[in-house]
Amino acid sequence: MNRPRLAALLSVIFVVVAGCAAPAVNPDATADTEGDWSWPDDPPTDRLGWEGGYWYNESIDVNQSDGLNATERAAFVNRTMARVEVIRELEFTDTVPIEVISRAEYRNQSQFDTNPDNESAVIHSDWNDQVWESILLVGEDRTIDEVFGEIYGGAVLGYYSPSEDRIVLISDEGDPVVDRQTLAHELHHALQDQQFGIDGSPPTQDRQLAENGLVEGDARYVDRLYEERCADDWECVPRPSGSGSGSIGGSFDYPVFLTIYTPYSEGPTFVSELRERGGWAAVNDAYAMPPVSTEQIIHPETYPDEQPVEVRIEDRSSDEWVRYDHDPVGDTVGEASIYAMLWKHGAIDRTDLNRNTGQYSAYNYSAGPSKGWAGDLVVPYRPASDDEWETNPNQRAYVWRIVWDSEADAEVFETKYVTTILQLRLGAKRVAPNTYLLETGPFADAYRVTRQNDTVTIVNAPTVDALAEVHPE
């Protein structure tokens, strides 16, 4: 299964999603130490800006009108590798297998098939549905796996798999064609893996999105610089018609997309600011100390000093409820996911999404009610009875605790969550102090929302009485 890495997913994959030029390297800088050789002849040993027999500024004969033959593909790939080296000032150490498949083939091979006999997979899927329900993005009428299938089936243009050490590009054309920007992006993922190692995944959703902000941000920044060079001084293979935009179906969930798109939107600006601080060396150093929260990606000035606070939730549930046998027992959703929740339910000005974006950012993920985030934890619960857990899929619960930078930040969020989202947008009724009941819709449940100083705690359960069983006040 080849998917982007998120808490909902079980594999590590790096994709490109539809959604100031670097200095040139002097290729013959070391020629005088390696015998009788002069530019532009092939060098006796591999070097920056030369790969597989092709220099980064060498002309190639590639015509994609009837697809790519083997010779054209080799020339296209090797010259692109040489160009990525020149931009990123890093050397490929190995070649990378590349396969081009149709979108229909990708959709077929990337479907989620949860094996009911695989208990850990079932637990993870059920646990993770509660995480996405807690941020009011995916309700009880569907699963996050289904939502991801709708999004990625049409939006993914290609991916690099570290575990398989290969690139797969997805073509919407009848004959296999390759988009140069997608190719540069995925080749850079291979370069990252060879230089830094990117096969691994942090335990929480927020840290995954944050670390992906560095990895995808670096690759997307490089493919933007690549396009700038094509516009200014490089001869480049024309991009196929419709390149850069997958075909997402009508059921496409935009707020979930906003969440998982955070690394692609905010990552390039984050990486460009690191480069402004200390050149490519500062970007390279970040792989040894990657960002730990989407707050650091959205607000690069907070990296690396501003660390999220550790949030704990004591288990006070009755014998009727238990936490999942899942590691970790809880998840951190972070600033980006909270922003997407606020955006979905109109608790912030939606038009701000397209205002004041960073130089290389598609969107603006900064909003007052989410900007003061300091840390959070979501702990899902299920019925203690296995029979009830298996037969009543909507009998679930969770406790979500969010710590804010200040008491004022916590109060703003509490007001937006209760007054705007629960009551105004979703139609919940206040049935007791701090307690609200939503009787219909995909988020129909009981909610208890309390604030103590800079901390907001949200308890969710199927009924008002069950709130005290899950987490008594």
Per-residue confidence at 173, pLDDT binned at 50, 70, 90? low
Domain boundary among 273, 302, 331: 302
Residues 32 and 107 in one domain: yes
pLDDT at site 377: 98
Per-residue confidence at 109, pLDDT binned at 50, 70, 90? confident
Residues 342 and 260 in one domain: no
Is there a domain that residue 380 lies in? yes
**Contacts with 117 (C-beta within 8 Å, 6 or more apart), sequence order:** none
Higher-scoring residue by pLDDT: 111, 405:
405
**What would the pLDDT profile of 176-194 be if each residue is shown by its tens digit?**
789 999 999 999 999 999 9
Q: At which residue do the structure tokens 């670390």 appear?
A: 211
Residue 405 to residues 295, 313, 456: CA-CA distances in angstroms?
12, 18, 12
Q: What average pLDDT is seen over the chain?
A: 89
Domain boundary among 249, 272, 302: 302
Higher-scoring residue by pLDDT: 359, 302:
302
Decide if pLDDT at 213 tops 90: yes
Is there a domain that residue 447 lies in? yes
Decide if pLDDT at 309 tops 80: yes
pLDDT at site 120: 87
**What would the pLDDT profile of 19-76 be if each residue is shown by its tens digit?**
433 333 343 443 333 445 666 778 878 899 999 999 999 999 999 988 888 899 999 9
User: ∠ CA 445-446-447 to the nearest 5 degrees?
Assistant: 120
Decide if pLDDT at 12 tops 80: no
Higher-scoring residue by pLDDT: 117, 404:
404
pLDDT at site 206: 98
Is there a domain that residue 70 lies in? yes
Decide if pLDDT at 365 tops 90: yes
Residues 432 and 287 in one domain: no
Cβ–Cβ under 8 Å, residues 211 and 258: no
pLDDT at site 84: 98
Residues 426 and 339 in one domain: yes
Q: What percent of the chain has pLDDT over 70?
A: 87
Is there a domain that residue 262 lies in? yes
Number of domains within the chain = 2
Higher-scoring residue by pLDDT: 25, 438:
438
The torsion of the CA quartet 397, 464, 417, 126, rounded to 10 degrees, works out to 10
Is there a domain that residue 8 lies in? no
Higher-scoring residue by pLDDT: 342, 242:
342
Cβ–Cβ under 8 Å, residues 424 and 411: no
**Contacts with 163 (C-beta within 8 Å, 6 or more apart), sequence order:** 11, 12, 199
Residues 284 and 369 in one domain: no
Residues 239 and 359 in one domain: no
Q: What percent of the chain has pLDDT over 90?
A: 72
Q: Domain range holding 342?
A: 321-470
pLDDT at site 388: 87
Higher-scoring residue by pLDDT: 153, 221:
221
Decide if pLDDT at 306 tops 90: yes
Residues 327 and 238 in one domain: no
pLDDT at site 303: 98
Decide if pLDDT at 6 tops 60: no
Residue 322 to residues 119, 168, 236, 368: CA-CA distances in angstroms?
17, 42, 58, 35
Decide if pLDDT at 174 tops 70: no
Residues 275 and 404 in one domain: no
CA distance 6 to 305: 24
This prediction's pTM: 0.90
pLDDT at site 37: 61
Decide if pLDDT at 105 tops 60: yes
Residues 185 and 265 in one domain: yes
Residues 90 and 183 in one domain: yes
pLDDT at site 38: 62
Higher-scoring residue by pLDDT: 390, 364:
364
CA distance 431 to 457: 18
Is there a domain that residue 95 lies in? yes
Decide if pLDDT at 9 tops 50: no
Residues 267 and 359 in one domain: no
**What would the pLDDT profile of 444-461 be if each residue is shown by its tens digit?**
999 999 999 999 999 999
Residue 237 CA neighbour count, 13 Å, CB half: 29
Decide if pLDDT at 4 tops 90: no
pLDDT at site 273: 97
Give, as one character, the DSSP assignment of residue 471.
S
**Stretch 228-242: mean pLDDT, rounded?**
90
pLDDT at site 116: 56
Decide if pLDDT at 290 tops 70: yes
Residues 283 and 326 in one domain: no
Domain boundary among 236, 267, 302: 302
Is there a domain that residue 309 lies in? no
**Stretch 135-149: mean pLDDT, rounded?**
94
Is there a domain that residue 72 lies in? yes
pLDDT at site 92: 97
Cis peptide before 40 (omega within 30 of 0): yes
What is the bridge-based pairing of β-strands 166-171 and 98-102? parallel
**Stretch 380-396: mean pLDDT, rounded?**
90
Decide if pLDDT at 249 tops 50: no
